[in-house]
Homo-oligomer: A and B are copies of this chain.
């Protein structure tokens, strides 16, 4: 068993654990973080000192917090996505005009990551950077419906069917049926599959090459999203927007 050539840098894994712990606990002290991350005080202390020195962590009267130097990294990560640049303004307009929360998400590592949102009401499905399973949201299903079968297989193998609510899809048969329907109608509905009583309408954004680039969705409470508003108006609005974004993506090609 000396064959396992660990190409991993364990000090980096440690730092990542510390940062993620801090994200959830901030502001927090050395001991608190060490306990939560299952590491020793002295080690955590050294890591925090290193991070602080580079501005990735800030110490304010004895407690640590994440530094603003993480901002440009997150920003660089989403700015590299042309769909982000093309969709931003459209998402805002969509939210304003429909009076719902509007989201832009992309698939990364088998999860839908929210990269932009416009809030109109306070029932929020997740802030920037939140990830949701592809099987339990309108955005996720809209994306899945456009991915090649092999990718769907991969993703399902990796993440399974997380049962977020009692309405969540929990087997492959049901998923395939639903995806087929989504492909036919062009949009996906979420009737409380991710969060109970939270509904959503999503549609995929395709690039000029025909590949999925992400998805747009609007979401809100069951009480507001029902009847023709939920089943016709919103789908129409969402499809209009994805359409505009797709056109923008084509224009960008020629630039």
Contact = CB atoms under 8 A, between A and B. Distances in A.
Nearest to A105: B68
Given A50-B8, A54-B16, A71 B78 contact: yes
A130 B79 CA distance: 14
**Identical copies in the complex:** 2
Nearest to A126: B72
Interface in A33-73: 45-47, 49-51, 53-56, 58, 65-73
A128 B69 CA distance: 10
Contacts of A79: 127
A76 interface: yes
A115 interface: yes
A113 interface: yes
B115 A53 contact: no
A23 B41 CA distance: 31
Nearest to A58: B108
Given A71-B115, A71-B128, A113-B71, A46 B7 contact: yes
Interface in A1-30: 7-9, 11-13, 15-16, 19, 23, 26-27
B8 A53 contact: yes
B74 A73 contact: yes
B8 A11 contact: no
Nearest to A57: B77
A83 interface: no
Contacts of A115: 68, 71
B68 A73 contact: no
A106 interface: yes
Contacts of A27: 80
Given A15-B15, A26-B80, A67-B77, A72 B129 contact: yes
Given A23-B72, A66-B80, A68-B108, A51 B129 contact: no
Contacts of A47: 9, 12
A192 B67 CA distance: 29
Interface of A: 7-9, 11-13, 15-16, 19, 23, 26-27, 45-47, 49-51, 53-56, 58, 65-80, 106, 108-109, 113, 115, 127-130
Given A7-B49, A19-B73, 5 more contacts: A11-B12, A12-B15, A12-B50, A23-B76, A71-B115
